[in-house]
Structure 1
Amino acid sequence: MATDINQLRDFSTFFTRSEILRLLKSDFGSVNTKLQRYNLIEKKRGYTYLKVLKEAYKTIQNNYQNEYVLKNEFLNKCLVEKVVNRDSIIFNELRLGNSIADLAIFNGVSKAFEIKTILDKECRLSGQIKTYKKIFNEVYIIVPEQQVDKYIKFDNEVAIFSYDSSFNKFELVREATRNEVIDIDILMNVLHSKEYLNIIHNHFDVIPELNAFNQFDICKKLIATISYPELNDIFLDTMKARKIHNSFFNKTNNEFNQVSLSLNLKEVERKSLIDKLKNNKVL
């Protein structure tokens, strides 16, 4: 079992976007370099790269609770089931102006999730929560079990999930209070130009003359006149219409769900990734 912090950090890079893109091209050089760095080539010789990465995931899961593991485990245990056979969609790292929600899910309501590992500082959290509450119906923070008391004080309207790293278990400590407001400035930053133009065409009888120079300001003023309940429904429908591929791995190979979401991999691309990892061995 690896306990060297540098080795754990190197293992965690196996699940980065750049590494997965290399693996999709059958480029295993970076993995080999890291195995060689810790004298593991001989030990792993003959292993498929799928086995190597699965063992690496288990090692960092047990010894190095980084953001990838936390996000991936939360995704697998708390969100994937909501997407299967339901009208839901999950986003990874959804940008909201100067803030980025770690995860966001849209179904009958919009929910933002902010993940804090044992390694994170809470200095930016107040600003992040303030931003999320301006557009999402519900806001959640996911924190280590031993730090619940520290984080629960930030905002009593925000839900808290605790994470027990020993058992990889999540528990809802406090429910979220439903938000009833959408900040038009943040909404316009989230929407693509085609999306807000589509909203104007679908919801207003008279369409003003628009051009590339004035369309943002005119659309913003018009959208700001829509009542909150209707605008909230429009926001949900608009986000669910985006081409996000939420076909996740089941319990087999679910170590790759988070990076697959991050790269927005299609099902055929996910299958190709696993095939390449299964059919190539450490030499």
Structure 2
Amino acid sequence: MAAMIELNKVFTKNNILKAMNDDSKIKSYVTSLGLNHYDTFESLYKVLTDNYRSEYVYKNTLFNKLLLGKHNLNTTSALVELPIGDSIADFVLFNGSATVYEIKTELDSLERLKTQLKNYYKAFDLVYVVISEQHLKSAWTLLESSPVGIIVLTPKMTLSTKKKATPYTEALDKNIWFSILRKYEFEKVIESYYGFLPKTNDFKYYDACKELFLKIDRVLLYKMFLSCLKNRNFNKYSNKEIKVLPESLRSLVYFSKFSKTDYIKLIRFLNL
């Protein structure tokens, strides 16, 4: 288990940057496997998918099979680790709508799931849990009569939908939307709707913005809210720029805020 935990750490931004600077750990893997850099990452990732399906494996699978497979980067974007109330959404996909994917790996329990889902429905109307097969019976018992969808990551690394999510809008909360948006985002919403921003001192500005924000029609505001979040990562990379990378590194590069300089270094490091 300790060896798998260490291997999982390879797939982090810091370790990839170290690798590009001739890190000895990656060198040791390259030497022991007798592969080039590209195939070394793919081989190490295969070890993880076979033996230690971490949260990174789940997120990377969602990224490759949904964002790049079912959709594409010209129309769709995604966020990870999005704070919502006192929970953090693992993976949120933005197209014409938004879908939350809450991950429960083989290493996780379902103990906090009900609380997490309650928080997610305050922000978004479509939610799935993505689980291992070992959690399916418990998840089904817990969620059978709810709008939550269930997806299983199979042993063959496919995503199998066991229960389709249905939209649920009753819990949507404008206050939560406002808390999720960054200052420039809620300002964009307010200025777009009203044609102006509140003129007040710094101490009162936040509350004045919130008051205007909360007065906007909920249906329209939800669309504007989703647009703001979609734009955080939209057009960050082209399909070609991401798909040229090994599948094992695609979500890491997309979500880790790699600079263009770092991206070019990585391409060279992988001999692409």
Shorter-normalised TM-score: what interval? 0.7 to 0.9
Match of 1:137 in 2: 125
Distance 1:43 1:269, change over 3 A: closer
Match of 1:169 in 2: 158
Q: Which moved more, 1:201-210 or 1:11-20?
A: 201-210
Q: Confirm whether residue 257 of structure 1 aligns to residue 250 of structure 2.
A: yes
Q: Which moved more, 1:70-79 or 1:108-117?
A: 70-79
Distance 1:219 1:31, change over 3 A: same
Is the Cα contact below 8 Å between 1:83 and 1:89 reproduced in 2?
A: no
Distance 1:190 1:99, change over 3 A: same
Is the Cα contact below 8 Å between 1:247 and 1:266 reproduced in 2?
A: no
Instruction: Give the count of matched residue pairs.
Output: 266
The aligned amino acid for 1:89 is S
In structure 1, which of residues 15, 30, 33 is the aligned counterpart of residue 11 of structure 2?
15
Is the Cα contact below 8 Å between 1:143 and 1:163 reproduced in 2?
A: yes
Q: How does 1:85-96 map to 2 (within 5 A)?
A: 86-96=74-84
Is the Cα contact below 8 Å between 2:87 and 2:119 reproduced in 1?
A: yes
In structure 2, which of residues 217, 229, 247 is the aligned counterpart of residue 227 of structure 1?
217
The aligned amino acid for 1:164 is T
Match of 1:79 in 2: 67
Structure 1 residue 83: Cα displacement = 4.1
Q: Confirm whether residue 202 of structure 1 aligns to residue 211 of structure 2.
A: no
- Cα distance in 1 between the residues matched to 2:73 and 2:233: 17
Q: Unpaired runs of 5+ in structure 1?
A: none
Match of 1:157 in 2: 147
- Cα distance in 2 between the residues matched to 1:143 and 1:236: 25
Q: Confirm whether residue 29 of structure 1 aligns to residue 24 of structure 2.
A: yes
Is the Cα contact below 8 Å between 1:159 and 1:174 reproduced in 2?
A: yes
Runs of 4+ aligned residues of structure 1 deviating over 6 Å after TM superposition are none
Distance 1:222 1:86, change over 3 A: same
Name the one with the larger helix percent. Answer: 2
Structure 1 residue 179: Cα displacement = 2.5
- Cα distance in 2 between the residues matched to 1:128 and 1:47: 42
Q: Confirm whether residue 65 of structure 1 aligns to residue 61 of structure 2.
A: no
After superposition, give the CA deviation of every residue in 1:242-274 in whole Å (9 maximum; x if it has no partner): 255254533861110121122133666434313
The aligned amino acid for 1:28 is D
Structure 1 residue 119: Cα displacement = 0.7
- Cα distance in 1 between the residues matched to 2:262 and 2:71: 19
Match of 1:106 in 2: 94
The aligned amino acid for 1:43 is S
Structure 1 residue 190: Cα displacement = 1.0
RMSD (CA atoms): 2.4
Distance 1:60 1:218, change over 3 A: same
Match of 2:39 in 1: 51
The SS at the match of 1:142 is strand
- Cα distance in 1 between the residues matched to 2:108 and 2:259: 32
Distance 1:268 1:82, change over 3 A: farther
Q: Confirm whether residue 214 of structure 1 aligns to residue 199 of structure 2.
A: no
Is the Cα contact below 8 Å between 1:184 and 1:220 reproduced in 2?
A: no
Structure 1 residue 163: Cα displacement = 1.3
Q: Confirm whether residue 179 of structure 1 aligns to residue 168 of structure 2.
A: yes
State the TM-score, normalizing by the size of structure 1.
0.84
Distance 1:189 1:48, change over 3 A: same
- Cα distance in 2 between the residues matched to 1:193 and 1:15: 31
- Cα distance in 1 between the residues matched to 2:244 and 2:184: 37
Is the Cα contact below 8 Å between 2:84 and 2:123 reproduced in 1?
A: no
Aligned-residue identity in percent: 27
